[in-house]
A and B are shown apart, each in its own frame.
Chain A
Amino acid sequence: MVDRTLSSTAQRAYWLGRYLERAGSTARLVSVNANLLIDLPVRLPLGWLPLIGILAQEDEYRTLYGDRSHNKNSTLDENEKSVARFLLSDPRNPGSLINSLSFTRENARTLRGTLPRASYEHINDAYLFAKETLQEPLSRSRRNAGLKDIMSRLDQINGFLSSTMLHNASWQFFRLGNFLERADMTTRIIDLRTTNLVENESDLEPFADIQWRSVLNSLDAMQSYTVSMQNPVNQPDVLEFLLKNADLPRSLLRCFNTVQNCLRSLPKHDQTLDLIQQMRRQLQRARVKNLQGPRLHRYIDARQKQLSSLHQQITDTYFPQS
């Protein structure tokens, strides 16, 4: 049977998957961070700016909000307002939640020939809802409630697509986008918390675990961790769990496994499949438990580079060549 999926359709389905996932991670990041800060002592130099770091958007943020916001003296509240706005509702930030949703919608719109009819309706509703909900002024409590609703709508969209869309090539591309984005976000979250962990200030050590807890929460993995690891939260176990647990939906290994399965069902997959298999083998062999500080950072960095070469490989193999 000849697969008639257009290259351009494959590309849109892939980006639909990526943006949908990205919108969800952004919402989760902001709401988890808000919770984390409640539990931390005020003098801990964490706050909101690290979120900008996770998404590698320091330059965009500085351009839009100026150096004032990087000033250590500006209050937590001020930072919270501008960072939350930048990440959630600012139309000028291409990576904001509202823009991720708008790109999701745009891709869904151009995929109207492929997606089940009602999915555009759901995605459009979610976009309109988020736009309305995230309008300024946005109090902390309204924001938290709104993000919760937005996240649950996004989960519903994923579920709806999964249970109604034909599981054909377009679906595989949607999943590829979804899981590559997910893998990318998991590595970013680990990386950020690692570089910001305060290792030398002994009086703050009790709070290190709180931060690892927030990492787990950012990935909706706290409960799963407790069940799987049977251990209090500690860095080696968290790393092992988030990188190499084969059952956790957001672990790096699980993402790699899913990507591999998707690619296996697509035509012309020789090179892409080679690459993901190599990535998987390396991950399985790696001893991640005891990675610390700069070594952990370098390790994560190398995974991100691999993810981006895989993205490039997929683009070159399947998408329209300009």
Chain B
Amino acid sequence: MNLSKLLRRQPAQMDSVLALPTDAAERYYIASQRELIWRKFRKHKIAMLSSVLLGILYLSATFADFIAPYDVTARTSFRYAPGQPIALVGSNYTGLQVYGYKQTNDPKTLRTIFDVDSTKSYPIKFFVKGYEYRLLGLFPTNIHLFGVEGSKATIFLFGTDELGRDLFSRIFAALRVSLFIGLVGVALSFVIGVVLGGISGYFGGIPDIIIQRLIDLILSIPTIPLWLALSASLPAYWPSTTVFFGITLILSLIGWCGVARIVRGKFLELREEDYVTAAIVAGATNRRIIFRHLVPAFASYLIVQLTLSIPQIILGETSLSFLGLGIRSPAVSLGTLLEDAQNIRVVVLYPWLLIPALFLILIVLAFNFLGDGLRDSVDPYKQ
């Protein structure tokens, strides 16, 4: 029996030998690592809140069509209209309702101004019929979470854009793309980064040299030319969904290098530790040493990186959109929504079009707090 196996058995053996005084303490000592992490994580209030928030956002992104009262591309004659406030008590009746608009033309600025008119209101109905869509891309339906009825009634909770499209609906459609791009992108760069970084750091020698120089090469080229060149090389005939994957790939292609370097650095540092030497002496396989001993040792560090990476990819996508290289219409992402907001008229006259930025900030914040909480929870030295 080798040493590492013996050591791992120790807690169980100790349990059988020693009788512990209380139940709670007992559960603590016999809890699995996963359970321990969960216990600590639950105490981290903001992280918990963040994970709930992200859960809700991911869920609503999945059911974006159900939540959205309007189709993403549906135009109305209400162009640049501000959000309609929700009220419980209106001038006509009591109940959940949204106020309507009063429309005036400003001859000086030549724009149509929509003011909220509290004398007009429309009741909010739940599970109403709206546009046709496929739930989860499978089941055709036209039921939506909420909406208003009647041809004149409108419900633009966050207002409308230049073409009179409902911003609320568009944000949820955009979340679908942006949240997903973050996950896929990070997953890709992490798999590549950990594997290559691990090989590089653990084995050293020729593989290390090759991988390190490859990383040097990729990292040495400034991102903007890389982005420009790579997205220019995406074939023009690709449909917008394929372009979306192409862009995810571009973002993760650059992202993995950082991960790999960090993983390598940690490996270099940790492989000098006694317990690794012990494992080697005990005859553990390389794979076992890497995944059983080394990776867990810097998992917390990886998690900090992971949580920083998802929002970075989401932000990266918005930068691509700013440069005109991002997702192409009619697909929407937070980047394309912000691209529409990046001009003086929005800042001066139509500030509600900046709401997507709030969602972006919220998502990035939530990921960061979540990562922070996870980091503290997986910390092996913390009581």
| A and B from one complex | no
Interface positions of B (Cβ within 8 A of A): none
